[in-house]
Structure 1
Amino acid sequence: MNPPTAGWLVLLALITNICGQPNPFRLADTSLRATEGSCVEMKCSINDRVDTANAYWFWIMNPTWNGGVLSGTVIYSTNDEERPVSQDFADRVNYTGSSTSTWNSYDPPKSCSISICNLKKSDSGDYAFRFVDELRPYTFMTHTLTLTVTANPCLIAFDKLPVVVENAPVTLKCSTLSSCSSNLQIGGLEQLDPSLISGPQQKDSRNRKTTTVSFRANWQDDGKEFSCQTQDNTDKHLIRKISTTVEYPPKDTSAKKSNENVVEGQTVTLTCSAKGNPAPTFTWFKNKNAKLGQGAEWTIRSITESENGEYHCEATNKYKTEKSNPVSIDVKCEYLFFFSLINFMWWV
C-alpha cells in the first residue's frame, strides 16, 4: 500500500464523525504472520456502546479510496447487497466475535473479530474493519492490519470422497509437496475393520508425494471422519479432514406402540424407525396388506375395538423396502379393564 493511501486510512481510523462520537472499534494488531494452509484470527474490539439497528459492517482487504469511494476485496459482510463477499473468501472466513445483540451494551468485552482459514500466499495484504449506519451519520473504520502469509513446504491436499454405495471400494488419498521432509499419516483408520483395509501405500513423483489407503465400505462407515497430517505437525489448523458418505438400503426397521395395554378411548401412537441413506420414508399397514398411510408415526385417537389387529410399517428408499416387526393392538373395554385391575389388586 502506498504512503498516501496509508495516511488516509490512519486518518479515517482516528477521526470522529460529525456528531463527535469517537471510534469504538479497535484492532488488536497492526501486523500478523501465518503459514500457508493454516488459520489466523484478526482481533477487533468494541470499546463503547454501538447501536446496530440500522447498520451493517464488513471486513475489507487492501482498502483504497478513489474520489471518496472505498474499494477493495470484501472478505466478510453483513450486507451482501451493499458489500458482497468475494467468492475466494466466502467459505474460508468465519465471524468469531460477540453476538450483535451485545454491541448495544456499555459493558465490555465485545468483539468484531474474524478468522481466515486455509490461508493462501495471495491472502497477504492489508485488512480493515468498517461500520456503516445507514440512517445516522455514524461511519467508522479501523486502522489497517498487515497480514503476511509464508510458504508452507508441507501444504497438504486431502482429496474429497465421492458418494459410494454399500460394499463399494473407497480410497483415501493424501499428498504434499515432494520437498516436504516429513511423512504423511492418515488418521481414523482404527474405525474400520482391519480385514477390509489395504495400505497405506506411498508413492513419490517429481513434484508430489502421496499416501493412499483403500477399504471396502459397509453401511456403518457412513459419516466417518478421516484426517491427514504430517507426522511432526503441531498446528491443528494444518490437519485436513474428510468424511465418507455411504448410501445403503433400510436396515433395522422397527415398529412399536406407545401403550402396552390399550384401553378404549385412549390415543395410541405407532412409531416406525429405520436406518438408511438416503433417509427412508415410512408406510403403515394393518393386517398385513391394508395400507393406512405414510409417516414415521401413525396416531389413532379415541381408539375403539374396530382398530384391533396387527400393524407393521415398511421403510423404503431408492435401494430397497424393508418390513418391520408386527405390533398387535387388542383394545380393552374401559369398564372391563378397570374391573380386571381391581380384581388383580384384590388377589395380590
Structure 2
Amino acid sequence: MELRCNSRGNPPITSYAWFKNSGRGDSKVSSAQTFSFNATERAAFICEATNRLGSHKSKSICVDIKDAPKDTSASISPSDEESDDGWVELSCSSRAKPPPSFTWFKKGPQISTQVATGIFHKVQFTQGGQYFCVAANTLGSQKSSPVSVRTKGLPGLWMYIVIAILGIGLLRSTHFMIKKWIQASSSSQAH
C-alpha cells in the first residue's frame, strides 16, 4: 500500500514525515513524502509537512485492510485417524477480512456434495472419502486441498460375515440330512 502526503506552503515544504497512530501515541514510520508499506492490519496514519516557519499535521487516515480468503486449508483430528469413538473432526482455516464463512463438501465420482457448514465437521469412519472446505467472504472464495478419511469397517464385521456363511452352510447341511433321513424312513416303511 502507498500513502502520499501533499501540502502547500510558503516558504516551500522542506520535509515530510509519516506517523502511525497507536493506542500509546504516534510513532514515526517514514521521512518521505510517499510512504509504502505492507498492509496487514487496520491502522491509522498521520502526515506531517514542515517548512522553515513550522509544521502541520494532517487528519488521521484510517487504512482498513480487506482480503479475499487465502491460505485456506483443511485438517483432520485426530491426525492419525485413530479414534476411540469412530469419529474424526475436520477443521477448516483461512486468512481473510472480513472473516469468511466455511462450507464442507465430499468429493464424489462426478460431482462434490455439500455436507456441512461451519469451521468444524465431524465424520464417522464409515463415511470415508475425500472432503474439502470452501472459505468465502464478500471479496471472493478459496477451496482447500482435500483431506482423506479412510473407511473403516464395523468392529468384527468380517467375523459376522464368516459366521453367517457358516450358519447358512450348517442349515443347508442339516436340511439335507433331515431330508435324507425322511427319505430313508419312508423307504424302510415301504418294505
- TM-score grouping bracket, smaller chain normalisation: 0.5 to 0.7
Residues 1:185 and 1:284: Cα distance change in structure 2 (over 3 Å): same
Name the CA distance, whole Å, in 2 between partners of 1:322 and 1:283: 11
Q: Which has the higher helix share?
A: 2
Checking the alignment, whether the CA contact within 8 Å between 1:221 and 1:244 is kept in structure 2 is no
Q: How does 1:304-343 map to 2 (within 5 A)?
A: 304-305=125-126, 307-332=127-152
Give structure 1 stretches of 5+ with no counterpart.
Answer: 1-168, 189-198, 202-212, 232-237, 337-348
Q: SS where residue 5 of structure 2 aligns? A: strand
Contact 2:15 2:32 in 1 (8 A): no
Q: Match of 1:171, SS?
A: strand
* Bigger CA radius of gyration: 2
Tell me: higher relative CO, structure 1 or 2? Use CA pairs within 8 A at least 6 residues apart: 2
Secondary structure at 1:246's aligned position in 2? coil
Indicate whether 1:298 and 2:149 are aligned: no
Amino acid at match of 2:78: N
Whether 1:186 aligns to 2:6 is: no
Amino acid across the alignment from 1:185: A
Asked if the contact 2:16–2:32 (Cα under 8 Å) also holds between the matched residues in 1, the reply is no
Q: Which amino acid aligns with 1:297?
A: F
Match of 2:103 among 249, 263, 283: 283
2:67 maps to 248
User: In the alignment, is the contact (CA less than 8 A) between 1:175 and 1:184 conserved in 2?
Assistant: no
Matched residue, 1:146: none
Matched residue SS, 2:93: strand
Post-superposition CA distance 1:204-238 (Å, at most 9, x none): xxxxxxxxx265x87x544255444578xxxxxx8
Show the counterpart of 1:171.
3
Which residue does 2:77 correspond to in 1? 258
Aligned length, in residue pairs: 135
Q: Which amino acid aligns with 2:128?
A: N
Unaligned runs of 5+ residues in structure 2 are 21-30, 51-56, 157-191
Which amino acid in the other structure matches residue 255 of structure 1?
A
Q: Report sequence identity in percent.
A: 27
Equivalent residues in 2 for 1:105-120, closer than 5 Å:
none
* CA deviation string 1:144-177 (max 9, x = no partner): xxxxxxxxxxxxxxxxxxxxxxxxx753437698
Contact 1:287 1:310 in 2 (8 A): yes
Give, in angstroms, the shift of residue 291 of structure 1.
0.5
Answer whether contact 1:229 1:240 (CA < 8 A) is retained. no
1:256 Cα deviation after fit: 0.5
Instruction: State the Cα deviation string for residues 1-58 of structure 1 (Å, max 9, x = none).
Output: xxxxxxxxxxxxxxxxxxxxxxxxxxxxxxxxxxxxxxxxxxxxxxxxxxxxxxxxxx
Runs of 4+ more than 3 Å apart: 169-179, 181-184, 224-231, 238-243, 331-336
Distance 2:102 2:150 in 1: 23
User: Aligned partner of 1:282: which letter?
Assistant: F
What SS is found at the alignment partner of 2:145?
A: coil
Counterpart Cα distance in 2 of 1:175 and 1:269: 57
Q: With the length of structure 1 as denominator, give the TM-score of the two structures.
A: 0.32
How far is the alpha carbon of 1:327 from its aligned partner?
A: 0.7
TM-score normalised by structure 2 residue count: 0.53
Paired residue secondary structure (2:114): strand
Structure 1 residues 263, 331: closer, same or farther in 2, change over 3 A? farther
